[in-house]
């Protein structure tokens, strides 16, 4: 079935299964890098919170061979998840004192998200932007997150500086950093079948414990310095995606232009458009203690 038939099948199943009075709505939702995805909002009678379920990813699972019935059951389980409703209610999210401990940050590209940044609090960082979201308990459909908008700050009567201060404390605590060699990461993906060290350029992957939105680990206090001490040298930082970055010791790179070309190629062929962080590479100098964009 095509995408529209898929959506019709899912919504039809939910209308027949969910309690009477449940409101289903298909709405366009702005994602990272200007991408617009279709979200299914499910609002039960008497509830004001309506979590959005992105149908695009489920459709890709269907095209990959997963049965429509399995997908329908997964979405139904998400709709019936009480843990989300208990945490995402008006009393909780309407009071910043309650939501404060869930505020964390992530990194996105500044220029590619210029329109979105007009609507959300942010802090510029090189050619990127630090933006904020609330990290809520996981649901059957994955991590539950709520992007923070300017309207939230107005309602809460808090400033972007206060938001940044809280996120700076919360993010390393809720999403601690992890760094592994590329061979270790590849071994995890292959269930330990390949434990050999990689040939060529040594690469190290920095992300967080959830391996989601982990590129923001570079913002943690002294993280860049600790990485330099661990590597024993200055290093290049490659923005693999919004989820992780790759570190390469300076001594292992003979031509930085090859690194820049590699990042651009990977962004165009292997990374989802919504997950691209930047086409440029960066350099960290232990002497200056600064991360800078590598000029081509």
pLDDT, tens only, 185-230: 887 766 555 544 455 789 999 999 999 999 999 999 999 999 999 9
pLDDT at res. 244: 95
Whether the per-residue pLDDT at 113 is higher than 70: the answer is yes
Whether the per-residue pLDDT at 142 is higher than 70: the answer is no
Whether the per-residue pLDDT at 7 is higher than 60: the answer is yes
Q: Give the residue carrying structure tokens 């680990």.
A: 217
Mean of pLDDT over the chain? 86
Angstrom distance (rounded) from CA 178 to CA 215? 11
H/E stretch holding 95: none
pLDDT band at 76 (very low <50, low <70, confident <90, very high): confident
Local structure of 119: helix, strand or coil:
coil
pLDDT cut 90: percent of the chain above it: 50
For residue 295, what is the DSSP state? P
With a CB cutoff of 8 Å and minimum separation 6, the contacts of 289 are 224, 225
pLDDT at res. 196: 45
pLDDT at res. 43: 73
Whether the per-residue pLDDT at 131 is higher than 90: the answer is yes
Whether the per-residue pLDDT at 88 is higher than 70: the answer is no
pLDDT at res. 48: 60
pLDDT at res. 193: 53
With a CB cutoff of 8 Å and minimum separation 6, the contacts of 282 are 126, 236, 237, 238, 239, 291, 292, 293, 294
Residue 181's Cβ-count burial label (10 Å; 0-12, 13-18, 19+) is middle
pTM recorded for the entire structure: 0.81
pLDDT, tens only, 239-265: 999 999 999 999 998 888 899 999 999
User: Quick one: average pLDDT of 271-279?
Assistant: 92
For residue 94, what is the DSSP state? T
pLDDT at res. 60: 83
């Amino acid at each position: 079935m095509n995408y529209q038939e898929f959506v019709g099948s899912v919504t039809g199943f939910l209308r027949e299964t969910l309690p009477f009075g449940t409101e289903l709505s298909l709405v366009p939702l702005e994602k990272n890098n200007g991408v617009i995805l279709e979200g299914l909002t499910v609002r039960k009678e008497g509830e004001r919170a309506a979590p959005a379920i992105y149908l695009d990813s489920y459709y890709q699972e269907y095209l990959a061979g997963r049965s429509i019935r399995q997908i329908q059951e997964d979405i139904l389980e998400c709709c019936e998840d009480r843990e989300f409703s208990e945490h995402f209610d008006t009393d909780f999210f309407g009071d910043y004192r309650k939501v404060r401990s869930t505020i964390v940050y992530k990194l996105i590209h500044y220029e590619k998200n210029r329109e979105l940044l007009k609507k959300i609090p942010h802090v510029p960082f090189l050619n990127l932007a630090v933006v904020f979201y609330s990290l809520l308990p996981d649901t059957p459909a994955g991590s539950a997150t709520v992007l923070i908008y300017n309207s939230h700050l107005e309602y809460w009567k808090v400033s972007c500086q206060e938001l940044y201060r809280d996120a700076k404390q919360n993010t390393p605590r809720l999403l601690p950093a992890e760094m592994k060699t590329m061979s270790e990461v590849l071994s995890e993906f292959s269930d330990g079948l390949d434990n050999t060290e990689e040939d060529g350029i040594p690469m190290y992957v920095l992300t967080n414990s959830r391996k989601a939105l982990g590129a923001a680990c570079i913002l943690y206090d002294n993280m860049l310095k600790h990485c330099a001490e661990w590597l024993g040298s200055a290093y290049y930082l490659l923005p693999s995606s919004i989820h992780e970055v790759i570190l390469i010791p300076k001594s292992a790179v003979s031509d930085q232009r090859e690194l820049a070309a590699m990042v651009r190629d990977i962004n165009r062929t292997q990374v989802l458009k919504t997950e691209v962080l930047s086409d440029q590479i960066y350099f960290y100098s232990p002497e200056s203690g600064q991360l800078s964009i590598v000029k081509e």
